[in-house]
Amino acid sequence: MTDVKHMKWWGWGVEGVGFHHEDKPGFAPFVVNAVGIDVWKEPVPPISFDELDVPVSQTPDELFDALTTIVGPEFATKDDEERVVHTYGKSIRDLIRLRASVLPRIPDVVVYPADESAVQRIVDLAVASDAVIIPFGGGSNIVGSLEPIPTETRPVISLDMGRMSRVLDIDEYSGLAVIQAGVLGPDMEEQLNARGWTMGHQPDSFTYSTLGGWIATRSSGMQSDKYGDIAEITKGLRVVQPGKLLVVRPIPSSATGPSVREAILGSEGRLGVITEATVQVHKLPAKREVIGYLFRDWDSGLAAMHDINKSDAAPSITRVSDARETAFSFSTSKASHGISGQVQKALFAFLQRRGWNLDEVCLSFIGYEGSAANVSHQKSVVGDILKKHGAITLGKGPGALYDQKKFDTPYLRDFLLDRGAAADVSETSAPWSKLKPLYDNVFAAANKAYAEIGLEGDGWIMCHLSHSMHSGACLYFTFAFTHDGVDPLAQYDVVKSAIQQAFIDSGATLSHHHSVGVEHSQWTEQDISPAGADLVQGMFTAVDPGNNLNPGKILPR
């Protein structure tokens, strides 16, 4: 019905694309050791769409007719597959429920507005009809920000922003671009790059997420060390609210009371529908390099990232994986029979002779952008720091490979689900001084949770540091286990809850960039204090007294 691109209903990405291990000889033994599954066994694919028990649309005829009048008959639909696609995001909880045909409440109608005027009319109609509006970007969310409340009895409208996908203007003198909120990452960068500009924002979900979604969830990208996260990038906003339009002008800085811009950032549709943003953009760099490095151990890697942040260096990427994630990264490498394979073997043999424990080595990627002279200077400054911490330079090859594969990891979750394993992520941020205790506490909590569900010694968790900031950094944890096939979500809840609570107990935040949704809302009050939760609820009530705007997100229902 439209040319708006969506991911497949049952998993990440598009049909026909997935993770393959046959050309990665280290992957099968790694997964057997990590979660105890044989990747060569016959996978159990998702059920077919025809097997889903899709609830009937509850859209009153008069509401559907009114929506059709606003957007046109080809841009309002009650089609079952469209409604299922717009029900969930792509968390492990979402994918498990889809495979089990657990659809207690789904949108009744999906609409595709073409402009801000149509969005305003849809929002006003929804409020007047006492319907629910849930904004939808690319559908990549992993914390339940998209799903309707299961007990919702009112009509639910999924407002898909995909037709509003243009870069409208670039103020080249100021370095600001006006962009519609529904644009997907690659489409936005293509439009900016054609005029010599980039926004520099590249989250892992980049291929299938939108500008509006990034803003609504306070996203960070892997190059946030240089370009900032979306909260720093976003300068101006236009937000449709019931009966009115909120406009935040793109001022570089102001002292005009509490920040309305900050209130919209991370609001997940509860304060209105973001239609347009004015964002910082930068000239395309003349040179870009991502270099791989190897540290002796995790402590050395953490200390080096801290020292780089405190130095005069300004790399675009500072990332280091712990030993477990490093082992995973090596396991996903393709077979190398030529010179590169021989060089790697020689390097590892050399490190062993130097007394390195190869089970503790940690892989790092650091990115540099700018003029050739600036990149050379940055590499020199960083190189001196890394030398002090005993790092080995791996060169451009591993960095180029990382750059190519960085958006492919989410496909692995579907691969594991097909084979009876569940994998998910939790990320946080904390001050530099608390990162190592936080890391240790999370591992202890996760392993205790695995023992609680009968998987002592069999559950997997790994971590990397990314998004370095002045006072601290983000730690990003990936965990996986072979589920019992009876109630995998009950097992998942034990592990996920243990990890999240360890964040809070260790002085970290419940989420650095994945947002709150319903997945994390039970920790909101612990994170921002009861008074903070009251303040947030007060904003929601003031803007949306009828609770029509994506209810149930951020604060517990």
| Inter-residue contact 132 to 154 (CB < 8 Å) | yes
Amino acid letter, residue 189: E
Collapsed DSSP state (helix, strand, coil) of residue 474: strand
Distance from the first to the final alpha carbon of the chain? 35
Strand segments (E) across 317-382: 317-321, 362-370
| Inter-residue contact 145 to 86 (CB < 8 Å) | no
Amino acid letter, residue 541: T
Distance CA 352, CA 451 (A): 34
Q: Which residue in 326, 392, 403 sits closest to 354, CA to CA? A: 392
| Inter-residue contact 188 to 182 (CB < 8 Å) | no
- H or E stretch at 519: none
Specify binding-site residues for substrate. Answer: 413
DSSP string for residues in 63-84: HHHHHHHHH-GGGEE--HHHHH
Q: What angle do CA 540, 545, 550 make, to 5 degrees?
A: 55
Amino acid letter, residue 413: R
Distance CA 251, CA 177 (A): 13
CB neighbourhood size of 302 (10 A): 22
**Exposed, middle or buried: residue 247 (CB in 10 Å: 0-12, 13-18, 19+)?**
exposed
DSSP β-ladder status, 460-466 and 472-482 = antiparallel
| Inter-residue contact 301 to 268 (CB < 8 Å) | no
Q: Check the CA dihedral 205-84-270-1 and report its sign.
A: positive
Distance CA 340, CA 338 (A): 6
Name the catalytic one among 293, 402, 450, 476: 476
Specify binding-site residues. Answer: 204-210, 217-220, 268-274, 413
**Quick check: is 88 catalytic?**
no
| Inter-residue contact 422 to 91 (CB < 8 Å) | no
* Cα distances (Å, whole numbers) of residue 544 to 195, 258, 529: 40, 19, 22
Annotated catalytic sites, by residue? 476
